[in-house]
Amino acid sequence: MGKINQPSSQIKLTNVSLVRMKKGKKRFEIACYQNKVQDYRSKVEKDLDEVLQIPQVFLNVSKGQVAPTEDLKKAFGTTDIDTIVMEILRKGEIQLSEKERSQQNEKLHNEILTIISTKCVNPKTKKRYPPSMINKALKELKFNSTNAKNAKTKALEAIRLLVEKQIIPIARAQMRIRISIKNKDYTKEREKIEKLISSKQNEDKIEAETEIACLIEPESYKELNELIKSLKGSVEVLDMAVVEQQGDKLL
């Protein structure tokens, strides 16, 4: 038993990443070197000895509880440690330390603030807010970004809340684009195209083509781009984030 318990004290003193996997009714863990799990998953590292701190499968690493052979056989259909370890490495969930989790959450939170800063402006001044001011407003709204899986999705959720509550005067910036399309195609699909446009700024007919400079909601870009491309036209992004001003509309 002395040998089995020995890794417990070592693990606490080293930078270990645990990978955990539930199989059947049991939970299995392996102790890996930090960052090596991602290297293995991206096939940068293929040597298991370089990934594993301890070449064992555990029920609980911190307590030094090695998984019994019968548990491994029942759950994985084999007792071959390498085969089992490879499955856990591929499919298991990486358990972060408190420090790693805190760093990851901070990085994610900063990404969210940066996305909001680039997508929103003060509608009165037409200027973007610095991330620090957005952070202050989100704190006031008790917005929680901890453990969000996706920075972009969480940022869009935060933008909706900020625009609704107006803790600071804020508006979602629109995209300014230029559409080039054959006159006959524009006439045929005019209604569909104009439904996806917030406002036209300019419309020119150049020989057989129509050119439209306009503002659109970012959410409409994909659908509009696909529609124009299907008509053999083109869409050029002129500005990723603008706020519609008085006089922007083509009357």
**Residues 192, 195, 200, CA angle at the centre, nearest 5°?**
110
Query: What residues does 215 pair with on adjacent strands?
Result: 176, 199
pLDDT tens digit string along 194-220?
999 988 989 998 889 999 999 998 888
Helix (H) or strand (E) holding 216: strand 209-216
Q: What is the dihedral of CA 214, 216, 220, 222, to 10 degrees?
A: 50
Per domain, the residue ranges of the chain are 2-95, 98-171, 173-242
pLDDT at residue 159 greater than cutoff 80:
yes
| Domain 98-171 class, CATH top level | mainly alpha
Tell whether domain 2-95 is in CATH 3.30.1250.10: yes
CB 51 within 8 A of CB 89: yes
What pTM value is reported for the model? 0.56
Q: Band of the pLDDT at 237, cuts 50, 70, 90?
A: very high
pLDDT tens digit string along 26-64?
999 999 987 788 888 888 888 888 899 988 999 998 888
Please list, in sequence order, all residues whose beta carbon lies within 8 angstroms of the beta carbon of residue 67, skipping any fewer than 6 positions away.
26, 28, 56, 57, 58, 59
- Residue range 98-106: average pLDDT? 81
Half-sphere exposure of 14 (CA within 13 A, CB side): 17
H-helix segments, the chain: 2-13, 36-41, 48-51, 69-76, 81-91, 98-119, 131-140, 151-165, 183-195, 221-230
Q: Band of the pLDDT at 4, cuts 50, 70, 90?
A: very low
CATH classification for the domain delimited by 173-242, as one of 3.30.70.240, 3.30.360.10, 3.65.10.10, 2.40.50.100: 3.30.70.240
d(C-alpha 46, C-alpha 212), whole Å: 54
Half-sphere exposure of 70 (CA within 13 A, CB side): 0
Can you read off the two tokens belonging to residue 19?
């990978």
d(C-alpha 89, C-alpha 82), whole Å: 10
